[in-house]
Every structure is written in C-alpha cells, then in structure tokens.
Amino acid sequence: MGTAATVYQCPNCGATLQFDPDKQCFACEFCMSEFSEADLRASGADDAAKREEEEGRDYSDSLQEYVCDNCGAEIVADANTAAAFCLYCHAPIVLRGKVEGQMKPHKLIPFKISRDVAEDRFLAFAKKKWFIPRGLFRKGYMDKMEGVYYPFWVTDADTDCHFEAQATDVRRYTRGNTEYTETRYYDIHRRGDIHFEDLTTSAISTEDKKMLEGILPFPSEALTDFSMPYLTGFYAKKRDIDREQLYGEVKERMNNYAATILRRTVSGYTTVEPRACGVRVKNSHWEYSLMPVWVFAYPVKDKTYQYAMNGHTGKIWGKLPVSAGKLAILGGIVFAVAGFLGGLISALVMAGGGL
C-alpha cells in the first residue's frame, strides 16, 4: 500500500511549490511565482491539507520514513523530497513506508538561511581552521548538506518560587592596638511569582541532543503555526520523547533560572551562600515544535565528523578533523625554535661566564 502524500501546487501553473528561505515565501521554480502562506490559503492551493484536517487524518500520513541500515539514523520527509543517502554516515538509506503515530506539531520556525548561504558560511568557517586536511572541504563536496527540522518541546509556565540563603555582614575596626572583626549572620528568604516563556528542550534522546544544544537558542518570536508546506524540500527528525519524560529536566532549568533571578534581589551583604531554591508550577503550556537545522556529516577514514548550523540564526556547531601532517609540521617548527632558543641562551650564558 502506497504512502499518501500532500502536494502543494502553484496556483498559476500547477507545478510543485517549495519553501524559499531567502525570500520567506513559497516559490515555483517553473513559472517563478511566489506566494505567502496566506496566498496559498486564499487561492485554495492547500485544499488537500484542509481536507486532511477535516477528515481527522494524522499529518504523518503525508510523510515517509527513511532508515539507515548502517548507523540506524531515522528521518522523515514529504514524498517529494529525494532521499538517497544518510545525513550522518553518507551510506544509502532505505524507504520504510509512512511514519506511524506521530502527533502533528503545533509550531514551527521556517528556515531563514538558504542552502547556498549555509554552504558558504561553512566553507568560511572551515577555512579559518589551519589544521584541517587540505582540500577536504570544497563547494562540490557540500552537495550532501541538507536542511532538517528537529523536534523540540517549547514550554511556558507560571510558577511560585522561593529562595533561601545564609548571608553575612562582616565589619572590621580597630580599637587601640587591637583589630576586631565582627560578623553578623542572616537568614535570607525570597518568594515570588515567575513566568517562564518559551523554554526550548529537544524532543529526541539520541546523541543529536549535544549538537542541538550547541546551536541554541532559536528566537521564539520566529515561531509560527505549523503548516505542511514548510516541510517541502526538507527532512524532519521524528520525536521520541513525550513531554512527561522532560518534566524533570525542564523543572531543573526553572529551578536554576529562579535561583539566579531571586539571588539578584539580595544585596548589601558581604557574602551570600544559597541554601535552597524551589519552584512550584501552577500551570504550564507545552507546544511540540520543529526547528530548522542545516546538517552536514563528513567521513574521514574510519570516523565521521558532524556539523550543524542553526537554520534561522546561523550559529555553528561542529568538530573538524585534524591533519596529522600539519600537526607534525607545527611540532617540527616548535622543536626547531625551542632548540634554537636553547642554544642561544646557552651561548649567552657561556659568553657571560667568560667576561
């Protein structure tokens, strides 16, 4: 049984539309027309999506799943997105059918940085690193860079927070020939209502989590209501963490933020030692959201290096390979300079001793 797919067609010529990050619109490469999301809705080009919602179909019916048999990576994409290799190890990947049981996202941040700009920024980033192997990065090699929407939970919460600390006020004074130190101790208590807005937490449990933390933050003001056309031409990662599983992590972040905020209200003491901080969540709102990331993996010998760029802000995260030859050259230069300086110092010492 085939996978159902939603195709967004140009209202002018009927060709397939794709989202253009540079222009922040949906573009037709055939007739060069451009449309906003409002234009699509007004023209009826997204009638297929409307029918899906009316019939209660899950948005995942319009997506296909690709699985890498080499490293196990899983991605999803709309049926019009070509998928021939793994984003992480570059091995061929296999279509496994439609995505099952994926809840429709609430929000999404569209790509703002285009593929060409992402490639140029990465090449500029790599060229600044002197120790990478020569010729490793070049324009043609960047064909395997792809745009991927990663899953996050975005949390708003109203909280009742308290903070406890012990403070000291130290006073030193002299009477006659004697110096005195007077220390007074105070118990500090602070309490207040704090509203947390747009706490963003990755919704995947894989090693991608470290990569995603490296390109945070995503600007919350760029969040828009989820719409399927934004996925055209891009991949997406499946979320595998429900919000209940993240409650402890998000609560800990609230604790840390609350401790920092309430600590700033304490002043005029010599020392302040925090003792406890607690957060009681009165109510919270969670939204499953997709965030844009440019991903590029590059295998070098038996190791794969991963690079990522925030698709909205351009922030870069990555580990670059190191050229053993260049390190050897540097080591030789350092050894030679050290030898020269050592010889020069010895010569000066001997010359000084002979005076």
Whole-angstrom distance, CA of residue 331 vs CA of residue 354: 35
Query: What pLDDT, on a 0 to 100 scale, did the predictor assign at position 15?
Result: 66
With 50 as the cut, is the pLDDT of residue 355 above it? no
327 falls in which pLDDT band (50, 70, 90)?
Answer: very low
Chain center to CA of 245: 20
DSSP readout, 29-56? TTT--EE-HHHHHHHTTTHHHHHHHHHT
Residue 328 has a pLDDT of 44
Residue 239 has pLDDT above 60, yes or no: yes
72: phi > 0 → left, psi -120 to 50 → alpha, else beta; which? Answer: left
pTM above 0.85, yes or no: no
User: What pLDDT, in 10s, does the model give residues 95-127?
Assistant: 667 666 667 889 999 999 998 899 888 888 777
Give me 210's structure tokens.
């470290």
Q: Is the pLDDT of residue 188 over 90?
A: yes
Between 205 and 222, name the one with better pLDDT. Answer: 222
Are the C-beta atoms of residues 292 and 215 closer than 8 Å to each other? no
pLDDT number for residue 274: 94
| CA 182, chain centre distance (Å) | 51
| pLDDT value at residue 57 | 56
Closest CA to 98 of 55, 47, 57, 147: 57
Task: Spell out the domain ranges in the chain.
Answer: 17-156+195-251+283-322, 323-355
Most confident of 127-141, 231-245, 294-308: 231-245
Q: Centre a 10 Å sphere on the Cβ of residue 127 and count the other Cβ atoms it contains.
A: 10
pLDDT for 27-77, tens place per residue? 877 667 788 877 777 776 555 555 545 444 556 667 778 887 777 777 887
Across residues 124-153, what is the average pLDDT? 71
d(CA 245, CA 202): 11
Residues, the chain? 355
* pLDDT tens sequence across 277-317: 999 999 999 999 999 999 887 766 677 777 899 999 999 88
**Do 17 and 8 contact (CB within 8 A), yes or no?**
yes
At 233, the pLDDT band (50, 70, 90 cuts) reads: confident
Quote the CA–CA distance of 168 and 164 in Å, as a whole number. Answer: 14
DSSP E strands, the chain: 17-20, 25-28, 34-35, 63-67, 74-78, 94-98, 107-108, 146-175, 178-202, 224-225, 235-236, 271-300, 303-310, 316-318
Inter-CA distances, 253 with 61, 242, 260, 273, Å: 35, 17, 11, 20
Exposed e or buried b for every residue in 139-154, given b needs 16+ CB within 10 A? Answer: eeebeebbbbbbbbbb
Say whether pLDDT at 147 is over 60: yes
pLDDT for the residue numbered 135: 55
Section 233-252 average pLDDT: 88
Extract the tokens encoding 133.
């192997």
| Rg, the chain, Cα only | 29
CB 148 within 8 A of CB 134: no
Model confidence at 19: pLDDT above 50:
yes
